[in-house]
Structure 1
Amino acid sequence: MCPVTKVFSFFLILLFSSRIKRRTKLFLKLEDFLWRRNDSIGLAFSELMLLKVLAATAYDDMPSHIENLKCKMCVVVGNSFAIKKTSLGSAINKYDVVIRLNNAPVPGYEEDVGNKTTMRIFYPESAISNPRLHNDEDTLMVMVPFKPHDLRWLKEMLYDEKRVQDIGFWKPPPLIWLVNRSNVRVLDPHFMHQTVKQMAQIPTQKRNQKPFQPTTGFLAVFVALNYCDVVHIAGFGYPPKSDQQQPIHYFENNTMKAMKSSPHDINHEAQALKRLEEVGALMYLHPHL
């Protein structure tokens, strides 16, 4: 029997005191073309692009061997330097669902991060030209549509259309994307909407708090809490702001200086993850601050 079958409702009641239903259907479908406006963060007036994208990605949600499990054990592998030298790779590979983020590499880091990837959540600026280098053949490439330009980029990639370069992106996305169409999915904007909504209910010490923009990692945790029965996480956590030497990520040398202009509130997210851990909604696989 699954050890935790009510984790999502449990964390909602204890953490947010809110009543929203668990949603296990993760991706937009062609039949969702006329989606609810309050769930369409960043996608207003993009109906035709969305229709064309969904026509090219009209596949099942998750593989049947995962969908049919009575108890889904999932791990979200973050990109934090905290996963370095943990030797968690073999343990990570044993989970039913392994969720990775953005452009985090796998080859060369297998001992710590494993090499199994069920789905990778990303946005155009964090995509790489050849996803096959860092993913399994059947890894689901799940795009988060933050803005209309994201759908335009995905449409251009899927249909091999003329690329519109650099317009609307903070960083140029790939102009070539070597991916199997059948592996591409678009995350339902419901998850971004609800992540923002629920995070806004967590009090912070800051006044005049800016609108919360979750990191891909925190969004992935919310997705996992919806879909999975048991959620573990690894590779989450930033070094203290006073530490300007330790890298942020396990695969590159950027330090906390790179976070100065970030739109994310990492302290806010850290508080939320701590409370989720305290109520038993998730568990870290390694020591953390």
Structure 2
Amino acid sequence: MIRMKSTRIFMFLICPIMVLIFLYYSSGRLHLRSPVKKSQADLDRLLSAGRVVASEYDKQGFLTKLDRKLPLELQYKYGNLSKGECKPGYAEAKMTSIYPKFLKPAPMFLDPNFKRLSKISNYLPPFGVRTQEKIIDHILQATKSYSLGSELDRLSCKKCIIIGNGGILFNKSLGSQIDQYDVVVRLNEAPVAGFEKDVGSKTTMRITYPEGAIQRPERYEKSSLFVLSAFKLMDFKWLRHMVFKEKLRSMEGFWKSVARVVPREPEDIRILNPYFIQEAAFKFIGLPHNNGVMGKGNIPTLGTVAITMALHNCDEVAVAGFGYDMNTPHAPLHYYEKLMMSAIKESWTHNISKEKEFLRKLVKGGVIQDLTNGI
């Protein structure tokens, strides 16, 4: 009888204690329990929608930990190719692996159906074509050609190289290597004649704007495409004069002298898709949006625009002649002149440091190859 009474007392005391322990333990477990981990597909979908950026991605959507090692699925895809053989879809695959929001379809040049491209319809130049539709229609009716040309269009895999104008190219003897690429892109008025040993002799296209275009007709290559990258309203008017061989009567609206003649037939003239300026500025680099209007520090350099174009349209992408080293003020600024690095001034339109961060991501992630190691 005494034993049973003792047992009841013990149970009466121990039960509340056990309940308290259970509640405390459960509360702790509930507090410590982590959310269910989302699948990679869910993460990519949310990243694409701009609704979430995981801690492993930076604010632009790039992986924070980058290396050139191929993901396993790409090792299987490209592992059996011979050395030097073109890798189909490589740039897109690598870009997508470090930047899940990357969307491949983006035509290189404007064609008569350009109004269907919603991404550029709502923006003024340089980020779009709004208010310039009629003049672009007029130009495209005359040019009649909207691709790289039949020979390059037939290639199932294209290797492209963007040649920057940096002094780092000087005395590197990369000319023969550069000429092996299927598509060689040059920028503005950077010369080829006399510098072939370092920069090669092949030019597939020369991307420029009015103030950057070659002004002496005899300096143009005989068989390259002339590609306008328009940064302001006046640029399209200037191109119309060049296409229709009309005399340019006024320099109003330009910040320096411009070419008055482009010795190219209309079928050799193209308009670069302005989406590449928009994507480079707002998505890749993270420059100020400024309501979609050109302003201080929100315009990417032409070199980065050209690289962005190549990521969408080439299977492999390389660069040479990129990178300004401000720590060496007496180094040559450009490969073709004696101007020194110290002559470069802070740009009102460009943000060189942020742009270099983006290009370094591409190199570190193995998306592009930098032949001169300046980035």
TM-score (norm 2): 0.69
Inter-partner Cα distance in structure 2 for 1:144 and 1:12: 26
The residue number in structure 1 matching 2:21 is: none
**Which residue, 198, 202, 211 being the options, matches 1:112?**
198
Change (3 A) 1:38 1:193: farther
The equivalent position to 2:130 in structure 1, one of 44, 60, 69, is 44
- Output aligned runs, 1:206-225, within 5 Å: 211-225=297-311
Q: 1:211 to 1:59 in 2, by over 3 A?
A: same
Q: Which moved more, 1:148-157 or 1:60-69?
A: 60-69
One-letter amino acid of the structure 1 residue matched with residue 87 of structure 2: P
User: Deviation at 1:181?
Assistant: 1.8
- 1:28 positional shift: 0.7
Count of matched residue pairs = 280
Q: Secondary structure at the match of 1:99?
A: strand
Consecutive unaligned residues of structure 2, counting only runs of 5 or more, are: 1-80, 289-294
Q: Is 1:3 paired with 2:62?
A: no
With over 3 angstroms needed to count, the CA separation of the structure-2 counterparts of 1:258 and 1:58, relative to structure 1, is farther
Shift of 1:14: 1.0
Q: Are the aligned partners of 1:100 and 1:119 in contact in 2 as well (CA < 8 Å)?
A: yes
- CA 1:67 to 1:172, structure 2 compared with 1: closer, same or farther past 3 Å? same
* In 2: Cα distance, 1:235 partner to 1:3 partner: 23
| Partners of 1:132 and 1:26 in 2: CA distance | 27
Q: Which moved more, 1:256-265 or 1:180-189?
A: 256-265
Higher helix share: 2
Rg: which structure is higher?
Answer: 2
Aligned to 2:104: 21
For the 8 Å contact 1:41–1:192, the answer to whether it is kept is no
Query: Superposed, which structure 2 residues align to 1:94-109 within 5 Å?
Result: 94-109=180-195
- C-alpha distance in 1 between matches for 2:340 and 2:306: 23
Matched with 1:126 is 212
In structure 1, distance between residues paired with 2:340 and 2:312: 32
Q: Output the amino acid matched with 2:150.
A: S
Give the Cα–Cα distance (whole angstroms) in 2 for the partners of residues 231 and 35 of structure 1. Answer: 24
What is the CA distance between 1:57 and its match in structure 2? 1.5
Q: Distance in 2 between matches of 1:288 and 1:126?
A: 23
Q: 1:172 aligns with which of 257, 263, 280?
A: 257
Alpha-carbon shift at residue 179 of structure 1 (Å): 1.9
CA RMSD of aligned residues (A): 2.3
Amino acid across the alignment from 2:94: F
The 8 Å contact of residues 73 and 229 in structure 1, kept in 2 or not, is answered as yes
Please, which of 156, 173, 177 is the counterpart of residue 241 of structure 2? 156
Which aligned pairs between 1:231-250 and structure 2 lie closer than 5 A?
231-240=317-326, 242-250=327-335
Whole-angstrom CA distance in 1 between matches of 2:93 and 2:112? 29
Q: Is the 8 A contact 2:217 2:261 kept in 1?
A: no
Q: Is the 8 A contact 1:200 1:212 kept in 2?
A: no
Whether 1:138 aligns to 2:223 is yes
Letter matched to residue 8 of structure 1: E
Preserved contact between residue 44 and residue 148 of structure 1 (Cα < 8 Å): no
Counterpart of 1:183 (choices 254, 268, 271) is: 268
Give, in angstroms, the shift of residue 39 of structure 1: 5.4
Q: 1:44: how far off?
A: 3.0
Q: Which moved more, 1:118-127 or 1:46-55?
A: 46-55
Q: Corresponding residue for 1:206?
A: none
Alpha-carbon distance in structure 1 between the residues aligned to 2:116 and 2:312: 23
Q: Give the CA deviation at 1:210.
A: 5.2
CA distance in 2, matches of 1:22, 1:60: 16
For residues 144 and 249 of structure 1, what CA distance do their matches in structure 2 show? 21
2:223 aligned counterpart, secondary structure: coil
Aligned pairs for 1:251-262 (under 5 A) are 251-262=336-347
Residue 161 of structure 2 aligns to a residue whose secondary structure is: strand
Over the matched positions of the two proteins, sequence identity in percent amounts to 35
What is the aligned partner in structure 1 of residue 232 from structure 2?
A: 147
1:119-177 C-alpha deviation (Å, 9 max, x unpaired) = 11110111123455242x32111100111100000111211334242211111211222
The range that moved more, 65-74 or 87-96, is: 65-74
